Amino acid sequence: MENNITSAIELTAVPGFISRDALLEHWQGHRRLTRQVIDAFPEEKLFNYSIGGMRTFAQMSMEFIGLAAPGIHGIAFGNWTFDNPPLASNTPPPATKQEILDLWDMVTEEINKVWLQIPAQRFQENDRAFGQYEGPVNAALLYLIDNEIHHRGQGYVYLRSLGIEPPAFWNRY
């Protein structure tokens, strides 16, 4: 039985499953949706509302920002730190929702700009991301996307608990 499963997996492997452009669009689609979630929060709740001791969604949003800006530079150039304010990983959280959204948009532009500089083979190279994860660069990118999706789910719970309908999770456009 185990051999049949292994054979089926080998037969269904699809090399080159997603193009570089499609991968960027996938990531940016998730980022557009997360931006909508940030925007759906009332200003005061974005910064001071949480459930069960979890962080506020403003704090989670700053984590996404603090990972994506240095993450795209790590993916492209192997430099997993980014000291260029206001997108540096140590940027203090802003005081308003609009400032978070503005930072979000700056990171989006940075991702689009740097993405064009990533050599195709870079995605298959091994690297040590953020001094912790060691493995293929493409897996580090998937981690950035997965981390955002995970925490965005927390944002959905927060919004629902506040009586606010969150954006449709399937609409990433």
Task: Tell me what pLDDT residue 82 has.
Answer: 72
d(CA 69, CA 152): 18
Q: Is there a domain that residue 2 lies in?
A: no
Task: Tell me what pLDDT residue 151 has.
Answer: 95
pLDDT tier, 11 (very low <50, low <70, confident <90, very high otherwise): very low
Q: Is there a domain that residue 172 lies in?
A: no
Tokens encoding 20: 């570089």
101: domain CATH number is 1.20.120.450
Each residue's pLDDT tens digit, 74-127: 999 999 887 776 676 666 779 999 999 999 999 999 999 999 999 989 999 999
Using alpha carbons only, how large is the chain's radius of gyration in Å?
18
DSSP string, 67-89: HHHHHHHHHHHS------TTSST
Measuring CA to CA, which residue among 8, 10, 4, 38 is closest to residue 108? 38
Contact 165, 116 (CB under 8 A): no
Q: Is there a domain that residue 108 lies in?
A: yes
Q: Is there a domain that residue 11 lies in?
A: no
- Structural domain count, the chain: 1
Share of the chain above pLDDT 70, in %: 87
Q: Give the ranges where 19-136 is alpha helix by DSSP (H).
A: 20-40, 43-48, 57-77, 97-115
Tokens encoding 115: 């993405």
pTM above 0.85, yes or no: yes
Domain that includes residue 133, residue range: 18-161
d(CA 52, CA 90): 26
Within 8 A by CB and 6+ apart from 110, the residues are 69, 72, 87
Task: Tell me what pLDDT residue 15 has.
Answer: 63
